[in-house]
Amino acid sequence: MKILLDCYHLQISEGDLTRRLERLMPLIGHIQIAAVPTRAEPDEGEVDYLYLLPTIEKFGYRGFVAGEYRARGEVEAGLGWLKAFRTAMA
């Protein structure tokens, strides 16, 4: 059994995502992301996912990362962040 790690909730309640992710990595089975503190698309706020996602990969995570957020507007229009993230991860 693995845990679902929700980056939004972990940052709100504990902070220091990078160190916590590194320590918890052997236990993580799924990761969710959203902007902090707005819980909108993950391309804004205090968490730099363009840094954090490659770092998670460096820690050995090979599972899924899901966007679990409240869209700022129309869902399709709000998916621009996904293309930018994919480009950064290539």
Q: What is the mean pLDDT of residues 14-29?
A: 96
Q: What is the pTM of this model?
A: 0.89
Question: What DSSP letter does each residue of the chain carry, written as one string?
Answer: --EEEEHHHHHHHT--HHHHHHHHGGGEEEEEE--BTT-S-TTSBS--HHHHHHHHHHTT--S-EEE----SS-TTGGGHHHHHHHHHH-
Cα–Cα distance measured from residue 61 to residue 69, given in angstroms and rounded to the nearest whole number:
21
Least confident of 26-30, 33-37, 50-54: 50-54
**Residue 25 pLDDT class (50, 70, 90 cuts):** very high
At residue 38, what is the residue type? T
Q: What is the mean pLDDT of residues 32-45?
A: 96
pLDDT of 35: 97
